[in-house]
Amino acid sequence: MNIVPIPAFTDNYIWCLHLDSRRAIVVDPGDFDAVHTYLSNNGLELAGILVTHHHFDHTGGIEALTKAANIPVIGPQNSPFAGLTQRVDDHSQLMLESLDIHVLAVPGHTLDHIAYYLPEHEALFCGDTLFSGGCGRVFEGTFEQMRNSLASLRELPANTRVYCAHEYTSANLRFALAVDPANPALQARVAEVSRLRGLNEPTLPTTLEEECRSNPFLRWDAPAIIHSAQSKEPVQNADDVFRVIRQWKDAF
């Protein structure tokens, strides 16, 4: 399956999943114009929408996209977004067209946040929970919730391709180097991302294996990350380490 990023706003990616040569599904279409233009230019008909959470930059285009099309709009069970036709929760499993989709609840960034895992295609659509080199800000949930959500994603197969919703990688890696400067995997990732951005190419998808080696927000139990957290304040457990690193990033 061809999965293509549709750039939107300043740094969003709306992921377009080509089901075949005529039909597609999009994830988190915050911008109607960007999606409409891409579909029109590629002769595609919209067959469904997946929503990870209620923030407007992920949902703002849905009303216009569905005005003339009776298509499923799937999203979180507890979402305040009113434009959903089907609500799903943790461990829900569904078929959308030909796609076998597994749902994971990943609260923290928002309380309604979910991720979609497609095992047949080794693909994860995680919205604003996990980023390449980083993770989302904790707005509505708790740091413990966010770490638990990331822990559930960390358990997926290592070759899972991670489709995040923002091009934040360069900035995230600048912070990651401050936390984990001696990590050779991180240093290699920085060089590769610099090359890609120099060519104006997306840094996504990444892989879960790459993120587990280089992303400090998936490495709260690594000695180097624990040491960096302890340099800021005493830490007693994994939740403390994650909280300290996330608060450090907020102020970075």
- Catalytic site residue from 58, 112, 180, 240: 58
- Catalytic site residue from 28, 31, 54, 109: 109
- Catalytic site residue from 112, 128, 180, 240: 128
DSSP assignment, residue 27?
E
18 is catalytic: no
**CA 39, CA 168: separation in Å to the nearest integer?**
25
Residue whose pair of structure tokens reads 């497609």 in the numeric block: 118
As a 3-state breakdown, the chain gives helix, strand, coil percent values, each rounded to 5, of 35, 25, 40
Nearest to 149 by CA among 202, 140, 190: 140
| Contact present, 219 and 180 (Cβ < 8 Å) | yes
- Catalytic site residue from 31, 112, 166, 180: 166
54 is catalytic: no
240 is catalytic: no
**CA 49, CA 75: separation in Å to the nearest integer?**
9
53 is catalytic: yes
Question: Residue 53: left (phi > 0), alpha (psi -120 to 50), or beta?
Answer: beta
121 is catalytic: no
Question: Residue 228: left (phi > 0), alpha (psi -120 to 50), or beta?
Answer: alpha
- Catalytic site residue from 28, 55, 113, 240: 55
| Contact present, 28 and 15 (Cβ < 8 Å) | yes
- Catalytic site residue from 28, 31, 54, 57: 57
**CA 178, CA 194: separation in Å to the nearest integer?**
17
36 is catalytic: no
166 is catalytic: yes
Q: Which residues are catalytic?
A: 53, 55, 57-58, 109, 128, 166
